[in-house]
Amino acid sequence: MAGQLQPAVGHAGTSTSWHQLVSTTDSDTYGSSSTLSAETTTGSYVFTVADYSRDKELHAAGSALPSNTFTAGGYSWRITYSHDTDDWIRFSLCLEPPVAGGGAGTGGGRDLGDAAIMVRTRYILLDKAGLPLPSSIRKDSERALSTMRSMRATQFMRRKRFESYYLKDNRFSVRCDVTLVRRTMCGRETGAMPPPDMRRHLGELLAGGVGADVVLEVGAEAFRAHRSILAARSPVFKAELLGGPTDDKDAPPPTTSTTSRRLRIHDIEPSVFRAVLHFIYTDSLPPEIGAGDEMVMAQQLLVAAQRYKLEGLKWICEDVISTLCHRRAANESSCPCLLYQLHAYAKSPSRLIDYMGNTCI
């Protein structure tokens, strides 16, 4: 077990940044004002395994290799390295219990049930010079701090791929970045402020079609929408529906007069356009968006986002494509000849549009 082995060599470092989002209310209507802020703190720890072959034999017997304790965001953490029965190299991050009478860095006296604190974890291999290897990056889903005392393993990379492409001189180093995000609402309140619900209201307006003044025909389907909302969100729709020039030379030419109640949309699938409309009205994607092939949908939505100049949707698609490319580059089933391309796409996802017909991806 983990306690039977000596901790691996490692060292830690920390960095802190703050990002503040401001949301104010009308004091005459609600009698309050408030500010929503998010404080982000990141700590890094380099975990080094000096004798990979020996440790692999120990893992075969069900053992795991723990790191030394390190501090990130004022809390103490430990990483555990192991192999599973499916031939994956795994890492586990666990919050250490508070030390009796401990202060900062021990987690003592802190409220771990604070739902406003979330934890993000990222693992990345380092080369001999200590520089990160971007193709090896692996991100974990965000977790509440209160759940971090329970061990949950991350499948980092297939052992065969790791040994073929990344293992050098029977040793390796991996850096673990731990980011804590604390979201707080502060301000002076003299009355109860209702939660923001404009997105919900606009989503219901789209779903119900109340007051719709244009029908968008896509393939065999028709979508009822509102000219003013489409025009406000997309300069391309503004030019098509309300008239006037667009500064996008690649934008499709108007296909209807500004008084027509029907607009034919070409070169896009109905399911993709439905997601685009949902984003235009709610600034989010529908929950069923991940039911199919994520890469294909992300590619098609990225094309639509560029076509209609929806920068927020473009950012979401590029983030999804970057994550999927990194994941596929680290997966044994990926074509080795495409590792370089996948890394390039992860840094510039828009380039992936030129390769949508590549059967290896």
Q: State phi, psi for 144 to the nearest 5 degrees.
A: -70, 140
249's tokens: 């030379």
Supply the pLDDT for residue 234.
95
Supply the pLDDT for residue 215.
95
Classify 72 as helix, strand or coil. Answer: strand
Mean per-residue pLDDT, 32-44: 71
What tens digit of pLDDT does each residue of 62-80 get?
A: 577 888 899 888 888 999 8
What tens digit of pLDDT does each residue of 241-250 get?
A: 988 665 555 5
% pLDDT > 90, the chain: 24
Supply the pLDDT for residue 134.
86
Whether the CB-CB separation of 144 and 315 falls below 8 Å is answered with no
Whether the CB-CB separation of 170 and 255 falls below 8 Å is answered with no
| Residue keyed to tokens 């075969």 | 60
Query: E strands of 108-259, at which residues?
Result: 117-126, 138-139, 143-144, 153-158, 172-186, 214-218, 221-225
Supply the pLDDT for residue 11.
57
**Structural domains of the chain, ranges and CATH numbers in brackets:** 37-98+114-185 (2.60.210.10), 198-243+260-325 (3.30.710.10)
29: Cβ–Cβ under 8 A, 6 or more apart, which residues?
Answer: none
Supply the pLDDT for residue 278.
93
Give the global pTM. 0.45
Supply the pLDDT for residue 6.
43
Supply the pLDDT for residue 101.
52
What tens digit of pLDDT does each residue of 114-130 get?
A: 547 888 899 999 998 88
Classify 140 as helix, strand or coil. Answer: coil
Q: Give the Cα separation of 104 and 249 in Å (integer).
A: 57
205's tokens: 């307006």
Task: State the average pLDDT for the chain.
Answer: 74
65's tokens: 């290799």
Whether the CB-CB separation of 125 and 166 falls below 8 Å is answered with yes
